[in-house]
Structure 1
């Protein structure tokens, strides 16, 4: 597009100057969410004016010499030459986000704009305009799921050149594999299940992080193919374990995008029949974000799964922005306490109190509890004292290839 080529042309001298002087350059990608909904609700004039006002607000918050480039579709690039470091760029991103804390008047009505900011630094993250912009866009996609709505590229591993065609080829070529991380029954001191975690080793690029390829699947319309692979891979390993006389429950994550896909329930039930797996062999994990995105439809889907005997788990409980009111409609049988509460709970009284409260709440609601991020025996004992049901984390076992996990599980049963 002309706009994107104009951006790259404008970036070229800034990148050259950054490399030549050794002074960092920041590229921020700023994205407005909800424009389509606003157009439907309030009309095209309101959406157009919101984009115009957003550009003005961004320019108001910048230093002399900084630039805003409108990319269309509610996306903007912000160019910040002569920064100190990534933290300086994060401060700039926070300043931009504060511009949208109050409603923006668009076509005579107040609109609370939802904005996400991704940041990439030259030369730290890339020293070519195209690559720098793509790094910042990747960070922006991930920022949408962050509580503070901003993300610095260096916070996650990024594999160069990953696009939907790479991922689609990986699925068809068998490059993806499922690793299993053990889930421990605390009272019995026995492993009774595992969480299925997708891994990708590219023949040229090597290991590609899920933090990179899962967003690629979500944002490219490929989530159906990826979810189909994940469901079948998880149930295949559950069936392999059962064929050896092993009672192994597999927990499988569903992203918010996958959760919204049509035919998801039929896909899961069909895979159970294909692999002759029992519904009790599967736990479906869904985050609070995915639940509240479409609560009514989600509740119907998960009630159908639950009625078939498939357990439903709330993943990363406590870190979302959801109200627990959704639990009135949501057929959860399990709650997973996020590792941010568990890992340091022995040295943090507030975290310990929160974990205790969440365990009590879950039990009152008839749910069993899984504590994530258990890294030592003292934490495991504290969880046992709090009557937590299950635990997982590096202190119990790291993820390993499914075949190796099942063989070790068989030896230790």
Structure 2
């Protein structure tokens, strides 16, 4: 017969074992899912990294070959002096550290082929063996703007061509490329954490030839052939990408042992088993101790019964422990209920926002992961940002701001009761289980409609305004984190563009990585002399001579090459470096003016001033001090400011511009016609000149409306005693039309492209003294 201790012990142990087995089963299944997820993520990450790396090389080669093809110096020596052309071609090749540069004539002959060959640890440039031969792939040249795989001996190059044009006539092509070699696969291996290799073969061949590998060459070639011939190898994880398949196959292979990738997960499983074993042993000891404790009152009763059986009747038989056991059971039950209530409260707090009691970010991520696991998930995620909450908090207090957030929460809940989430502060999220465009547009309209009515708090009417970013899930490969990131990008773009809402597009964050690199390296551009000024001449239509130039800053990046101002000036504005950039331009332009004066060259230099510069008294002081220190005459420096820069703070802008004008600087309104300034504002602005924006000039001879606008602007400026500059002049007819209407100055590619100071200095003598017609036929 079993004792009570044994029964209690057996019951406890049985329950504990069942719990441990069930827990271990769930943990085992979870680990299996983690293994699958880890392998999937590893392959997905590897695929993404390879595509981004290869496409970034492709994009960079395309951009640079197009830039090089526009080089006037390269065109000039293309069909004249082979040695000079090869030197110029090599200089371009060095700028991006290319491994190959090729020039092809219009007759498809290779007129220049330069290769970078490593000898004794140093790269040397040599002429390729295809020099002087017929180009093997003329079909590539008919489709510029793409990259191709170029075979030379046993080497492979990723190359992109762009046409060299004289006017609109193609005179040849230039291409630049990077070698597909060990450095590429080592970069792939480093970023993906997998072994990487590039292999190739002819379509008629059975075996793959190893081009480059991150591992030992001989071992890798046999392994790759084995993996590619046996795709069901369960010991390895492999992913591959076809680089070329045109009679000759080239593929990139990334692979690793499954056990190496899952080593951490396996260790976790072993630790889990060890922990489960220790838990079971500890539980058995605990169960035995509890059984003994519970049966102690019964044992006491047995002992007392034995005492009585021996004839000892003086000791009464009393079991006070029974009440304690009852009380213990009652307390245990109360404790269980309290623990359960606390767990529910904690769980609710983990997945809900304390202010609005809406599901929070944790709940949103869990919900998205569940939905994205469906067979064909169709959903859209929207992020809403409540505007000007900080103003409400600062003006009326945080308690009023909280009430605004609660009101937004109530209205959104009425609109979509099930899938509204409060991510914290002033940000909400909505999930729609449908990504039809019409449906989404209708939902966005409903959001603005439900929030349109002002929220009244203590007789104060507060307008509820939001900006929305929306993203759709990618049915093929999407995670909750990626979807949320895309939605956040769309919301950020809506804020930046001051739009009510923005649907995510891949182009919104296409340049994010490149922009981050530029942000990090812009500051060093000042100290490392990477900035340079180009000067675009302005033609005086009355004297038919160049009397002034506009200073335009360029960034000669050591890796990315020539970066246009449209790319890095917004970065300078956003990172607080605009004033430093403007000071550099002013000082460099002043030095160049002084140098030209010594060479008997009299050119006024126009400098662009931003909206941020107009808010900086220190910059004004710097300008005046520089003028005095270098003893610059009044005509030396002109300042160009856009309409929008003035309109950002008209009173301050007028005050500062008037101060500069009084100090002798000529003031010009740049891009006139693109802003929203009124005639009243133009009348009071202290300006000397209007620059008509190129958008009205470039198609002047084909657009009657543009002619009307330009003609009236010239008349208006003359009536206000202002001189006029026409930007974007690109043909003789436009130049003659402007001269006939007494426009004082013309600027554009027809006169000259922006040039470095040295080239402009040598260009001026060939232009000076010529009549307009002669210049145009030159």
Both structures adopt the same fold (TM-score exceeding 0.5): yes
Cα separation, 1, equivalents of 2:382 and 2:669? 36
Change in Cα spacing, 1:113 to 1:406, as seen in structure 2 (3 Å) is farther
Q: Which of 754, 758, 768 pairs up with 1:399?
A: 754
Q: What residue in structure 2 maps to residue 143 of structure 1?
A: 497
Cα separation, 2, equivalents of 1:356 and 1:48? 54
Q: Residues 250-399 of structure 1: matches in 2 within 5 Å?
A: 250-399=605-754
Q: What residue in structure 2 maps to residue 209 of structure 1?
A: 564
Cα separation, 2, equivalents of 1:177 and 1:120? 41
Cα separation, 1, equivalents of 2:446 and 2:756? 43
Q: State the 1:208 CA deviation.
A: 2.7
SS in 1 for 2:655: helix
| Worse overlay, 266-275 or 353-362 | 266-275
The C-alpha deviation readout for 1:11-69, integer Å capped at 9, x for no partner, is xx99xx9xxx9x9x99999896x7777777x545699489959988x989x99x99999
Q: Residues 48-127 of structure 1: matches in 2 within 5 Å?
A: 48=401, 52=405
Q: What residue in structure 2 maps to residue 228 of structure 1?
A: 583
Cα separation, 1, equivalents of 2:399 and 2:682? 35
SS in 2 for 1:257: helix
Contact 2:420 2:428 in 1 (8 A): no
Cα separation, 2, equivalents of 1:395 and 1:271? 34
Q: TM-score, normalised by structure 2?
A: 0.41
Q: State the 1:292 CA deviation.
A: 2.1
Q: State the 1:371 CA deviation.
A: 1.1
Cα separation, 2, equivalents of 1:218 and 1:377? 37
Runs of 4+ in 1 over 6 A off after TM superposition: 25-31, 34-40, 53-56, 65-72, 74-85, 94-104, 110-123, 130-138, 148-153
Q: Confirm or deny that 1:197 pairs with 2:575.
A: no
Change in Cα spacing, 1:246 to 1:35, as seen in structure 2 (3 Å) is farther
Contact 1:103 1:112 in 2 (8 A): yes
Q: State the 1:335 CA deviation.
A: 0.7
Q: State the 1:153 CA deviation.
A: 8.0
- Name the structure, 1 or 2, with higher relative contact order (CA <8 Å, separation 6+): 1
SS in 1 for 2:535: strand
Cα separation, 2, equivalents of 1:390 and 1:68? 59
SS in 2 for 1:221: coil
Q: State the 1:385 CA deviation.
A: 2.2
Q: Gaps (5+ residues) in structure 2?
A: 1-360, 769-778
SS in 2 for 1:280: coil
Contact 2:412 2:450 in 1 (8 A): no
Contact 1:118 1:141 in 2 (8 A): no
Change in Cα spacing, 1:240 to 1:49, as seen in structure 2 (3 Å) is farther
SS in 2 for 1:263: helix
Change in Cα spacing, 1:348 to 1:173, as seen in structure 2 (3 Å) is same
Q: State the 1:206 CA deviation.
A: 2.5
Q: What residue in structure 2 maps to residue 172 of structure 1?
A: 527
The C-alpha deviation readout for 1:355-411, integer Å capped at 9, x for no partner, is 111111111111111111111111112212222111212222111223322332255
Cα separation, 2, equivalents of 1:233 and 1:340? 29
Q: State the 1:324 CA deviation.
A: 2.6
Change in Cα spacing, 1:149 to 1:381, as seen in structure 2 (3 Å) is farther
Contact 1:28 1:79 in 2 (8 A): no
Change in Cα spacing, 1:359 to 1:55, as seen in structure 2 (3 Å) is farther
Cα separation, 2, equivalents of 1:157 and 1:395? 34
Cα separation, 2, equivalents of 1:101 and 1:395? 54
Change in Cα spacing, 1:352 to 1:28, as seen in structure 2 (3 Å) is farther
Cα separation, 2, equivalents of 1:405 and 1:100? 61
Cα separation, 2, equivalents of 1:319 and 1:49? 42
Q: State the 1:84 CA deviation.
A: 10
Q: Which of 595, 599, 605 pairs up with 1:244?
A: 599
Q: What residue in structure 2 maps to residue 188 of structure 1?
A: 543
Q: State the 1:79 CA deviation.
A: 10
Q: State the 1:99 CA deviation.
A: 7.8
Q: Gaps (5+ residues) in structure 1?
A: 1-5
Q: State the 1:161 CA deviation.
A: 2.4
| Worse overlay, 98-107 or 295-304 | 98-107
Change in Cα spacing, 1:262 to 1:364, as seen in structure 2 (3 Å) is same
Cα separation, 2, equivalents of 1:346 and 1:230? 35
Q: State the 1:279 CA deviation.
A: 2.8
SS in 2 for 1:162: helix
Change in Cα spacing, 1:327 to 1:189, as seen in structure 2 (3 Å) is same
Q: TM-score, normalised by structure 1?
A: 0.72
SS in 1 for 2:617: coil
Contact 1:27 1:136 in 2 (8 A): no
| Worse overlay, 175-184 or 400-409 | 400-409
Q: State the 1:313 CA deviation.
A: 0.8
Change in Cα spacing, 1:349 to 1:76, as seen in structure 2 (3 Å) is farther
**Which structure has the larger Rg?**
2
